[in-house]
Chains A and B, each alone.
Chain A
């Protein structure tokens, strides 16, 4: 696609390149999807199958896991990837199915607000979790 000659009759190069947002969101869905397979299946395995599964989960168990930066990072990555992956999926569903522009706008506002709230709350809990507070 290299041009050997100058372009005397070329009207102009394409107008200012539009953003790559759609491409990046498409790519993000693929990459985060792959990562979530590992993160979520690993999470489900630890929580539900390993060492007696769901019956051993209590405050101490969570506190013990979140004392390690590794599990903090695991859960944080799962929170952000799953929330944005799901939110972006819902964004495309809204784009596909909403018939009126106003419906589309308000549905998206609700979606984005809920995403921000869940991400903020989840991140806040992971970062500020205090294992020393009384269990109940």
Chain B
């Protein structure tokens, strides 16, 4: 017998397909592809992939990339829902591919399952599922997501009560995956709205008792591109893989703006 081929090509293909495990069903993975060098428009491509119910969508994408088409391009780093790299639109909703299980997407009644995967909307697509995150990060930087203090630095750490910490606990969970911002219909109109993620990260500092930059951040978010463009559609809250109450955080910033003087 020949040794198992494990050679890696330049595209990331890993050679022959591995044996199909027991209990696997073949599902169709329908991926939106875009190659800027050859395509003028995105196109759809389908792959038959053997999947276990316990597989994640990311496993299916790996299968496609490693054994079927090495040119498939997507981001992923930790693959465990921490880094926020693999946000994509799965069956029409923004999710992390590493947190969606195949068993939750299987069609009932023995019907064939098709899983649709597309890049997150509202950001320029570089290739396939890979989007340019720069507009998103630009909005994030614009709200000054870092501690701002004035006066002399304390000689010890900055003490905070448990209740003060609790005040902004929810918004510390953000991993900047862009699921919320790219599910927001207002953000889809480019360049007109900071987006939920930036407001969440502003909220994290505005309501931090140690921070003294709340006024500056509130002024930034009071602008035409700020919180007042929120239409309260709750898409962001539904999309957040960390379960952050995003729309609530935006409402709290609105309230802070209304009652600050």
Contact = CB atoms under 8 A, between A and B. Distances in A.
B178 to A, nearest CB: 20
Nearest to B150: A7
A4 B214 CA distance: 16
A40 B219 CA distance: 36
Contacts of A8: 151-152
Q: Is the interface of A mostly helix, strand, loop or mixed?
A: loop
Which among A4, A5, A22, A25 has the greatest number of chain B C-beta atoms within 10 A?
A22
Interface stretch (B34-42, B106-114, B222-230): B222-230
Interface stretch (B5-13, B164-172, B185-193): B185-193
B257 A18 contact: no
B116 to A, nearest CB: 26
B212 A1 contact: yes
- Category for how many chain B residues contact A: 20 to 34
B219 A17 contact: yes
A41 interface: no
Interface string B193-216: 000000000000000000010111
A4 B228 CA distance: 32
A99 B192 CA distance: 10
A25 B228 contact: yes
B258 interface: yes
A10 B228 contact: no
A23 B258 contact: yes
Nearest to B192: A95
Contacts of B214: 1
A23 B257 contact: yes
Nearest to A9: B150
A26 B228 contact: yes
Contacts of A97: 189
Contacts of B189: 95-97, 99
A132 interface: no
8 contacts: A5-B151, A7-B150, A7-B151, A10-B150, A17-B219, A22-B224, A95-B189, A97-B189
Given A25-B228, A96-B186, 16 more contacts: A3-B212, A4-B151, A5-B150, A7-B150, A8-B151, A14-B216, A18-B223, A20-B222, A21-B224, A22-B222, A22-B226, A23-B228, A23-B257, A26-B228, A95-B189, A96-B189
Interface of B: 150-152, 185-186, 189, 192, 212, 214-216, 219, 222-224, 226, 228-229, 254, 257-258
